[in-house]
Structure formats: structure tokens, C-alpha cells
Amino acid sequence: MKLLTFVHFLPVPAATLSELHDIGVTAGSTPILRGVDLVVRPGEVLGLFGANGAGKTTLLRVVATLLRPSAGVATVLGVDVTSPQRFDIRHRIGMIGHIPGLYPELTLGENLDFAASVAGVAPGGVEQALEAVGLLGAINRRAGASSHGMQRRAEFARELMLERDLLLLDEPHSALDQDAVELVNGLVGKIAAGGGAAILVSHDRGRVDAVADRSLELVAGSLR
């Protein structure tokens, strides 16, 4: 009996990291997403491309559990995105949007330090992560005084430090030089190799296809 109870609480590896069935999102009366079905498996790098306004960012926010769909069922890391348990899995999901989420008044180091304190990362993690993206020398530079490319690198450093299971990247290659592009692709590959998954969103199919295992197109809120 005791053994059975113990077994019951063992973590079960999820067969899918994210499953979306017939997802719809509306803004007022305007449909943003319509009937989206999407399955992301461990180890997979999925590319999503589409024109501006196709609903790519909205779809990422649903997968990140930050946006409740108005129709359909979405399960991420084994949790329904509308259930209160979504708060418990958020630290396992990383998202880098096209607008940096750093605090411009804080230095790059302080931004990562805040993330480390909230997420409970061991001391030393910040320097290690910044070094990995080539920003250790800019640790004391304010985010607001850093270039867009540097801010994106710092955000990649944050995701590297937090060791996410699911990484969602919105236009990950924009404003990056070739070294940084390779760095991003390396990070994506590392997460996939560790049993996680990544979704890369872009309007540029060529860049997505270079990294992704498979690619899907989003047209006017529907997947093709």
C-alpha cells in the first residue's frame, strides 16, 4: 500500500509538453486565433511563421499560460492553462518577446539578479549566464543604455540561467549579429536535447526552418 502511494506521487514524464485543441482567442469581437490544434513533444523545436498580425504572439502567450483562450482546451506541461495550477508551472516556461522585458533603469546584472532572486537560482548563476552570452563585461551597463541586441542577449542569458523546459521565442533572430544568432540556436538545441522543447516564431520562414524540426504557418489566426 505504501509502495503504491509512493509510486502514485512519482513524477510522470509528459508525452507532450504542450497540447492545444481547437483554440480560439478573440479581442472584443475580432477573432485573433481560430481552431488552432498544436502538439509540442519533448525534444522538439517547432517553427511558427506567418505575416504580421497572423496571431503568432497571441499563440505564444496562450502556450505561456499568460493568456486564457476564449475557446478550446490548452494543456501545458500537464496543466490546463485555465486552472490555478498554471502559476506552479510558469517558472518552467521561458518567453522572449520582440519587446524586451528588462527594466531599463537596472543594469544587465541587476536584471538577472532580480530573476535569480525570484526564481531561487544559486549565487554565481548570473555571472555564469552573462559570460555564456558574452556579456560579462557589460554586467554593470544599464539595460536602457544597452543596444537592442545586447538586451536580447541578456534575456537569453536569463533563460539559460533558469533552465526552462519550454522556451518560447518571438522573432528570436531580430537585431542579433551572426554570433548571437548561433548562440540562440545553441540555446534552443540545448533545451531540446535536455528533453525540453522550443517554439520559434518569425515572419521569416528561412530563419525558422534553419533551426526547427518542423514548421507550421499561421494564416489569419489558423494553422496550416
Partner 1 sequence: MTPSFTSQVGAVVKRDLRRQRRRGDVLWITIPFGAVALLLMPLAVGTDAGLLQRIGPGMFWLTVMLFGVLVTVGRASVETQAQRDAASLLGLDPAAGYAGRSASAAALLLIYEVIVGAIAVVLYDIEVIGIPWLAVTLVLVAAGLGLLAALGASLVNSDSGGSALVPLLVAPLSVPLLLGATQAYEGLRLGSSILEWMLLMAAVVLSVAVVGVITARPLQES
Residues that bind partner 1 (CB under 8 A): 61, 64, 66, 68, 84, 87, 90-91, 93-95, 97, 99-103, 105-106, 110, 114-115, 117-120, 122, 142, 155, 162
148-162 helix and 178-193 helix, angle to the nearest 10 degrees: 20
CB of 178 to partner 1, least distance (A): 25
CB of 163 to partner 1, least distance (A): 12
On whether the CB atoms of residues 96 and 155 are closer than 8 A, the answer is: yes
CB of 67 to partner 1, least distance (A): 9
CB of 64 to partner 1, least distance (A): 7
Grid cell of 94 as nine digits: 521561458
179 vs 184, which CB is nearer to partner 1? 184
CB of 135 to partner 1, least distance (A): 17
Helix (H), strand (E), coil (C) string for 132-195: HCCCHHHCCCEHHHCCHHHHHHHHHHHHHHHCCCEEEEECCCCCCCHHHHHHHHHHHHHHHHCC
Would you call 10 exposed, middle or buried from its count of C-beta atoms within 10 A (0-12, 13-18, 19+)? exposed
What is the β-pairing status of strands 214-219 and 45-49? parallel
34 vs 90, which CB is nearer to partner 1? 90
68 vs 219, which CB is nearer to partner 1? 68
5 vs 140, which CB is nearer to partner 1? 140
66 vs 175, which CB is nearer to partner 1? 66
On whether the CB atoms of residues 149 and 77 are closer than 8 A, the answer is: no
